[in-house]
Amino acid sequence: MEMVAAQAERLAGGSGVPGGGGARAGTLLAPPTGMSLVVQGAPAAIEPRIRRLVAERLGVTPEELIPEASLADGLAVDSLDLLEIAIAIEAEMGISVSERRLEAVRSYGDLVAMVTSLLAESRRPEPVAAPAVLARVVPAEGATRRGTVQRALLLTPYAAETVTEEALHAGPGAYLEIRLRGRVAAGVITRVRALFARLVERGVPVHVEPEPLTHLAGTRPAA
């Protein structure tokens, strides 16, 4: 938003862009009766909000905002107008519009498509980081302790599959210990257990627990 607002200030200060915010140089005829005004791919709840906002900013009727409507040629929208619309959209929708994305907007349909895409991107869940763990495959009681496999790793799905194979190869009676290192966020233990569901189905016990609090407390610097 700051980039778009700064560019608007530069243009408003007289950078040679004609007619910022004046009367429209031309208008479009209303579409024929029965023509759909909904932009393809835009959620039904989003497009009317964009239509209302743009119509108010440009002083045109909502019926003029058909997907093919050229902002520059049909609605006489200049660079400053478009930046002001972008700022209003940011405030209305809670998104950030970059100048690069705005430069690609040529029509009303382009504008709606851009907003729809940005909304989808903003709602996309953040990727979950692989937890740091200490994995220990312990052989059955009475078996040689040299068969114990222990490794510190980031528990990606690939790493989990490798540890699963090691646990299966340890033979009957073996079990797996997973110790989560550092602070454990909500839901991590459940996700880790899900990674080793195949072991549980094969009868291999899987123990998942965080590092002892005493160990964590010992890593804190003295006050």
Are residues 150 and 65 part of one domain?
no
Domain assignment present for residue 223? The answer is no
pLDDT of residue 136: 94
Domain end among 77, 102, 123:
123
Domain boundary among 97, 123, 149: 123
Q: Which is it for the CA torsion 181, 186, 191, 196, positive or negative?
A: positive
Distance CA 80, CA 9 (A): 9
| Cα dihedral 147→153→156→157 (10° resolution) | 0
**Number of separate domains in the chain:** 2
Tell me, yes or no, whether 36 lies in a domain: yes
Return the H-helix or E-strand segment holding 158: helix 157-169
26 and 55 part of one domain: yes
Q: Which of 123, 149, 179 is the last residue of a domain?
A: 123
How many whole angstroms separate alpha carbon 177 and alpha carbon 206? 6
Contacts within 8 Å (CB) and 24+ apart, 166-172: 166/137, 167/137, 167/199, 167/204, 168/199, 168/202, 168/204, 170/137, 170/138, 170/139, 170/140, 171/139, 171/140, 171/143, 172/140
176 three-class SS: strand
141 and 184 housed in the same domain: yes
**Any residues with CB less than 8 A from the CB of 206 and at least 6 apart, and which?**
175, 176, 178, 193, 196, 199, 200
Domain range spanning residue 101?
A: 2-123
- Residue by residue, pLDDT tens for the chain (223 residues) are 444 555 555 544 544 433 444 445 444 444 443 334 445 555 678 899 999 999 999 999 999 999 999 999 999 999 999 999 999 999 998 999 999 999 999 999 999 999 999 998 888 776 778 899 999 999 987 665 556 889 999 999 999 999 999 999 988 899 999 999 988 887 899 999 999 999 999 999 999 999 876 554 444 544 4
The confidence score (pLDDT) of residue 142 equals 61
Tell me the one-letter amino acid at 83.
Answer: L
pLDDT at residue 75, as a whole number = 93
- Residue 223's pLDDT is 42
pLDDT of residue 15: 42
CATH number, domain at 78? 1.10.1200.10
| pTM of the predicted protein model | 0.47
Can you give the pLDDT at residue 125? 72
Residues 109 and 198 in one domain: no
